[in-house]
Structure formats: structure tokens, C-alpha cells
Structure 1
Amino acid sequence: METKPEPGPSAAKEEEEQERRNLINQEFEKTRSTILVNSQPLPTDQFKVKVEGPRFDQDRSTIDLGNLLNAYEAIGFQATSLSQSIEIINKMRSWRLSDDDPTVERGSKEDESARIFLGFTSNLVSSGLREIISFLAKHNYVSVIVTTAGGIEEDLIKCLSPTYLTPDKTFGSVEGKKLRSLGLNRIGNLIVPNQNYCQFEDWILPIFDQMKLEQDQSNAKWSPSKVVERLGHEINHPDSFLYWAAKNKIPVFCPALTDGSLGDMLCFHSIKTDPNPLVIDIVADIRRINELGRSAKKAGMVILGGGVCKHQIANAMLYRNGAEYSVYVNTGQEFDGSDSGARPDEAISWGKIKGDSESVKVFADATLVFPLIVAATWAKDHWKSKPETETTEPVESKK
């Protein structure tokens, strides 16, 4: 019998190399199958929007603000969240009771709209967002406002003297010690001369005197919201959101009324009138805002920033088992358990937002995105209702 010759050194080496390659290919196929897992077919009723951005070189209309904001939905990340915020605000603005109750006639007195609660921190009133807030109050676009003491005083002070940008428009270009020696207060890249607060004191203390007199002579009861309403009437200035809120009977709540220059003025006045000072009842306001939350047919929250203004509104929503619409705009994070950084889902767990509600958090500086949100919602419809030839509105004189 003829025996098969033993493979030579070269053939044996080739066989060994082939086995090695086969082993590598087997391992590669295992790895490949792990990485390139086949996708299940996407439900077409859920996955409708393809990710894509505006094509600036293909269509001139993409530079139009409205068209650009419409494109945000498909961009992804916070652009999509911004688009959601616009959609939710438009829904809360347009809802009417007749949408849910067929027994209510469309457009009738009983056809109530959603009650919109607007909250914002004081720094936003220091910024140019103040004029946007005034626009919303002037035209009755919001139902309830919640802010902090700084939000109240900054609105009033700006009617007396302006706030300025730092000379080079940057943060901290002049050290705090130097600014203090010049009597200049810095808020980010804004400067408020301390003289503004001196003017504020001269303006507000006589008003407190009159309120104290009304308390003593006619048993007037003052809560923070009643104090703020009075200040809105007294300032009598069309740039002020407090003026418009008072004029339109929009309640402005300030749970932390004493936390700021306003608190200093109350402190000074209390010392001067001791032992019978001006009394401000904070419990009256918590009852009032909670009832506004409870009695709303539907409620929406638009909250810029965090802290007191955010939680005071959210807590009032608890009295109705949660808001139907919610938009948060802030840069807070939730890793430390802060309410300021909490996403809407956390509020759902507390019953402050309904589980089937429409809600979004936009992670952004409100000065960047709120002008865009308002432009695409309230302002868009505001001008849509006017003739195209009308490009300005009459401005109330500053009295």
C-alpha cells in the first residue's frame, strides 16, 4: 500500500496558519454578531421624525425665525426639547373647557381656558427678559405669577434708574473689591449702581407708611401678593410687569418677600414703627395660590429657573393632583437631590404633575431660549391677529 507522504515543513506551516485564521474568523464572527445586532422593525406610529437640520444653502426661508424654530424638532438634544416646549405652551394656551366637555358651548362665558402659572427667578428680571414678562402680563397671557423678592424690587428699581451691561460685556472683568469701593453691584455681566437702591428706599418707605396707616385706621390686611399689587399700582409705569399685573388683576406671589433689598426696606420700616409695625400675612397667600391651583379646569406651568418660584407653583399643583402641562427651563442638575434641578418625572412622583401630562425640561439659560419660546407662541399669535400694515403698538406714556 502506498503511504501518504508526510507534509513537508512548508505545508505543515501553511496548515497551521490556516487553522489560526479559521479560529480568528470564528472569534471575529462572534464579536461581529455581538456588535452588529439586528434591529427590530420600528413602530411607524412612534418613530415619525428623522433627525436632520435646516439646509441653509438650499432654501432662503430657513433663515426666517419661525421656519428655523420649526426645524428644531428634528435637530435633537436640547433643540428638540425647545421645540417640545413651544408645542406644549401652544397646547396650554389653546385649550378650552369645551374641548373636554361637550355640554359647554364654544366661546361662551363658561368655556374656560387653562390657568397658566408663570414662575421666574430674580436674575431674569435683572436681565432683558423683564420686558418679555411685561408683555405677557400686559396682554393677560398668563394667569398667575410667582417670583422672588429680587424679581419684585428689580422691576420697580428699573422704573427709577437703569441697569447696565459691564463695559466689556464679560463676567468678572473688574474684581468685586474694586466694584464695592465704587458702589457698583454686579449681577453676572450686569451692573446695578447702589444709588438705584437708595432711590428705591426713598420711593418705597412712604408707601409702607401709607399701608401702615391703612392697617391702623381701617384694619387693612396685607399679604405678600397684596403688598406687591399695591406696589404695581404705585409705580404706575408701563415698562413694569408689576404695573400690568396689578392693572389686569394677575396675582403676583412672592413667598420669599423679605429675601433682598425689599426685605431690607421692610426691616428698616419695622424698626422705625416698632412696637406696632406693618404686618404681612404669608399664610393668606399660600391659601390663595393653592386655591388657584385646585380650582383651575386645567393648569399649565412655565417655570424659568428653580428654587422658591419653581416649588411654590409645583406645590400648588398638588392640590389638583398635578398640572396638565409643564415647561421647565433651567440649568439645574438632579444628582444632588435639589428641587431646582429635578426633571418633571420627579414632580410626577409627588403628584405635582399628572402622570399622563405633557411636560418637558429644557436644559438652558432662560435668557437664551425664552425669547425664542415667546416669539413662537404668544408673540406670534399676538401679531397674527393684527393687520400686516400694523407694525407697532401704541405705547402708554410714562407717568
Structure 2
Amino acid sequence: MEVKEKMSVLELIEQMGGSGVLGAGRMYQATKLLAEVLEDEDTAVFMSVAGPMVPGGLRKVIRDMINNGMIDVLITSGANITHDLLEAFGGRHYKGTKEDDETLCQQGIGRIGDIYTKSEDFEVFEHEITEILTKITEKDKYFSIREFLTKIGNSITDENSILRTASKRNIPIYAPGLIDSMLGLQLWMFKQDNKLHLDASGDMSELSDIVFGSKKVATVILGGGLPKHYALASNLLKGGVDAAIQITMDRGETGSLSGAPLEEAKSWSKAKAGSNLVTVIGDATIIFPLMLAGALEMNKK
């Protein structure tokens, strides 16, 4: 590789492309594939987002991708939805310094690496989400999870919110593990005195319609876990995805889904024979913004 002054992101990534199939070479391959699927009108892009991607700085990146028509389906964790709403309600994620965690607890601060959240922001979150839940259940009590998240998105005003932008752009958000989050805890508390039913399996019919209605499907996988599996497994009945990019720091030796190489998905018909698959090992909060910037620059050439 040659690194020069005032190189663009794409120029640097293109230099990486000549270095084989180690991390740098895979970075180039993944960027090139991302550019191709974003440019292909026949390809529906399913993005799965696990891990603390919103607290880690990708909130506006994902929001802008939705707003600019780059994502057709978003599959994420309840935690990322919670943190999106935390900021939509006026809260923040604060950069902290290394302190004793017991002291942080006494101060009402929760820690994600060096990112802090304040209990007072979650108190506002609890109040605001309860108000929204009360409003959206005045008439209807029964929703699929996607319908429920769309209702919430239509109830908030923050233009930088992932949920609001997806609702405005009619982009579905699926969160099969929604209950495993602070939002899930608030749902349980709300249901102690109110009627509300969420049908997780109800999303599958709608998601299957999207899969069968798409000529091709590509998945962009940030992290692993349940969102990764949901994105891949939803394509099983059609023989699997046509292309996939995975950014993960998990390892495959233990048989975990999060660390499994994408090629393994072919054995389950979650990725088609001949599909274009690229895995990049590393931190998605570092790698994906560079990859997206390179792909966008590539498509302008």
C-alpha cells in the first residue's frame, strides 16, 4: 500500500485492495460489494444491527442511509431502539473517563465502554415512552412488532431519529428481541395496568412478502446475534441471500452464529450457492463509516 497526503477515503481503500485477502484486502472487497448493491435497483438491502451501534456513534449514519433510500429493511436489537429513543427524547450519550463502576452506579451512570448514560435521561425516557404507549393504545391494542415501532416512530419529532425517519420513509424496522431491552422493561410495566399485545410471529408474513417480492437480497450485517440470524433466516424459503457483508469481532471456533463465517450460511440455504460473501473482522463503528464513505465515492466515479 502507498499512503499519500490528502488521499480520499476511496483512494486509501483502493490501495488496500492490492494487499491480498487479509483485513485490508477484505475491506476493499466489502467496500466494492457495498457499492454494487447500493447501486443495483433490483437488490433489496437488509441491514442488521447488533451491539451498541447507536451509542457507538452510528445513529446518524443509519438514519441517513434510511433517509437516502439505501436501506429497504432494518433489523436491530431492542437496545439500539432504546438508545435511539433516549436521544430522541433529549437524552445523550456522554464520553466518560475511567472510573470505578460501583462509584458510577452510585452517581446514576451506566457505562458502555467509555460511553456513559445518565439515569436522569432514562427517567425522561420512561415518562415519554409511557405517554406514547398510552396514546397509541387508545384504539388499537394488538400490533406486530414492526407496526408497533412504526407507531412509535410517528409519535416522535426528532429528525435525527432512526425510528422517526424509517416511519416517514415507510422503511420497516424489525426487532425480534425487543423485550430484551429497557424498552421491553417499560412495555412489561405498562402492561401491568393496560392492554397491549405484540405479535412477534406477525412480522414474518410481511417480511416474507418483502423477500419474495425482491429480485435479489443483500444483507449488510453489523455485529451478529439475533438480528444477523433474522436477516439471513428470513431469506431461507427463497434459497438464501444473493450477497452479504459481515463486520464482526466474534470468532467462529465455538460455533457461535455471531462469529460464523458467512459461507456457513450456504449449508442452511440462508445464502445462495454462488452468492458474493465478504466478512471483515473488526469494530463496525470504525470500519463501516469508512466502508460506506468509500462505497459512496466509488459510485460517484
Shorter-chain TM-score: what band?
Answer: over 0.9
The alpha-carbon deviation at position 260 of structure 1 amounts to 0.9
- Residue 94 of structure 2 corresponds to 164
Distance 1:380 1:200 in 2: 40
- Deviation per CA, 1:195-227: give whole Å up to 9, x if none: 111101110112111222212xxxx63111111
| Alignment-mate amino acid for residue 209 of structure 1 | T
Matched, 1:86 2:45: no
| 1:137-286 pair list within 5 angstroms | 137-159=66-88, 160-167=90-97, 173-215=98-140, 221-273=142-194, 277-286=195-204
- Unaligned ranges ≥5, structure 1: 1-52, 97-112, 168-172, 386-399
Matched, 1:71 2:15: yes
CA contact (8 A) 2:248 2:259 kept: yes
| 1:83-162 pair list within 5 angstroms | 83-96=28-41, 113-159=42-88, 160-162=90-92
Distance 2:274 2:289 in 1: 28
The alpha-carbon deviation at position 122 of structure 1 amounts to 4.3
Distance 1:146 1:259 in 2: 14
The alpha-carbon deviation at position 89 of structure 1 amounts to 1.2
The alpha-carbon deviation at position 74 of structure 1 amounts to 1.2
**TM-score normalised by L of structure 2:** 0.95
Secondary structure in 1 matching 2:235: helix
- Residue 252 of structure 2 corresponds to 334
Distance 1:147 1:193 in 2: 23
- Residue 2 of structure 2 corresponds to 54
The alpha-carbon deviation at position 290 of structure 1 amounts to 2.5
Distance 2:295 2:242 in 1: 18
- Deviation per CA, 1:71-91: give whole Å up to 9, x if none: 111123111111111111122
**TM-score normalised by L of structure 1:** 0.72
The alpha-carbon deviation at position 141 of structure 1 amounts to 0.9
- Residue 20 of structure 1 corresponds to none
Distance 1:368 1:121 in 2: 15
| Alignment-mate amino acid for residue 35 of structure 2 | N
Q: Of residues 322, 347, 353 in structure 1, which corresponds to 2:265?
A: 347
Task: Quickly say closer, same or farther: Cα 1:379–1:134, change in 2 above 3 A.
Answer: farther
CA contact (8 A) 1:327 1:360 kept: yes
Task: Quickly say closer, same or farther: Cα 1:86–1:143, change in 2 above 3 A.
Answer: same
- Unaligned ranges ≥5, structure 2: none
Distance 1:145 1:338 in 2: 22
4+ residue stretches of structure 1 with deviation over 6 A? Answer: none
Identity of aligned residues (%): 26
The alpha-carbon deviation at position 322 of structure 1 amounts to 1.0
The alpha-carbon deviation at position 330 of structure 1 amounts to 0.4
CA contact (8 A) 1:122 1:149 kept: no
Task: Quickly say closer, same or farther: Cα 1:203–1:87, change in 2 above 3 A.
Answer: same
Structure ID, larger Rg: 1
Distance 2:156 2:19 in 1: 44
Aligned length: 299
Q: CA RMSD in A?
A: 1.6
CA contact (8 A) 1:141 1:378 kept: no
Distance 1:291 1:347 in 2: 21
| Alignment-mate amino acid for residue 153 of structure 1 | T
Task: Quickly say closer, same or farther: Cα 1:362–1:93, change in 2 above 3 A.
Answer: same
Question: Greater share of strand residues, 1 or 2?
Answer: 2
Matched, 1:370 2:288: yes
Secondary structure in 2 matching 1:85: helix
Higher relative contact order (CA 8 A, sep 6+): 2
